């Protein structure tokens, strides 16, 4: 699933309705940004019998942490009972495979070395190659919770998601996986 922000630049309405997510990403073969991609991925995982919690995150930038709901990720318990896992298909440069949410040591992945670190407030910092990527809340959310902020990336001039039209997909680092 490609990460893209083209709807923002084309002034297309952005809907987090389940039918609209499936239509855009599956039927029209488009990508989206984190709310759309992780929202659609959650629907797929739930259809496969997984228990999925949507969780908000704040992205680290040059000036520190971004605003609440700057990002959306998934906490997953697979149908076989394994987990919990941090799954995130909507964060540009993230792990290729789910990260073990309850592990605090290094987690090696083809995309880099990841660590999860507890914060004093009970959140979890996600680091890639030692650099903080985002701070994950552990409180479950819904896509409806994202509605007031989903347009924020397109309305904040300094937001990297809205500065330039972007469309990307994984390539060159996922041997043995189709479509890369």
Q: Is 34 a catalytic residue?
A: yes
Q: Which of 17, 80, 88, 108 is catalytic?
A: 88
Q: How far apart are CA 169 and CA 92, in angstroms?
A: 8
State how beta strands 71-77 and 99-100 pair. Answer: unpaired
Cβ density class 41-60: b for 16+ within 10 Å, e for less: bbbebeeeebebbbbbbbbb
Q: Which of 9, 17, 20, 34 is catalytic?
A: 34
Q: Is 9 a catalytic residue?
A: no
Q: Which of 70, 71, 94, 123 is catalytic?
A: 71
Catalytic residue positions, numbered: 34, 71, 88
């Amino acid at each position: 699933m490609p990460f893209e922000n083209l709807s923002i630049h084309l002034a297309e309405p952005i809907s987090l309705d389940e039918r609209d997510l499936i239509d855009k990403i599956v039927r029209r073969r488009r990508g989206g940004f984190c709310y759309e991609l992780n929202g659609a991925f959650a629907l797929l995982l739930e259809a496969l019998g997984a228990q999925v919690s949507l969780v908000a995150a704040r992205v680290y930038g040059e000036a520190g942490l971004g605003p609440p709901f700057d990002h959306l990720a998934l906490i997953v318990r697979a149908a076989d009972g394994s987990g919990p896992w941090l799954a995130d298909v909507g964060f540009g440069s993230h792990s290729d495979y789910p990260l073990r949410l309850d592990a605090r040591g290094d987690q090696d992945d083809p995309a880099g070395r990841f660590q999860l670190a507890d914060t004093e407030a009970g959140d979890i910092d996600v680091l890639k190659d030692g650099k903080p990527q985002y701070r994950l809340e552990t409180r479950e959310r819904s896509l409806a919770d994202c509605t007031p902020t989903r347009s924020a990336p397109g309305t904040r001039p300094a937001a990297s998601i809205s500065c330039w039209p972007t469309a990307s997909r994984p390539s060159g680092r996922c041997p043995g996986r189709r479509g890369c």
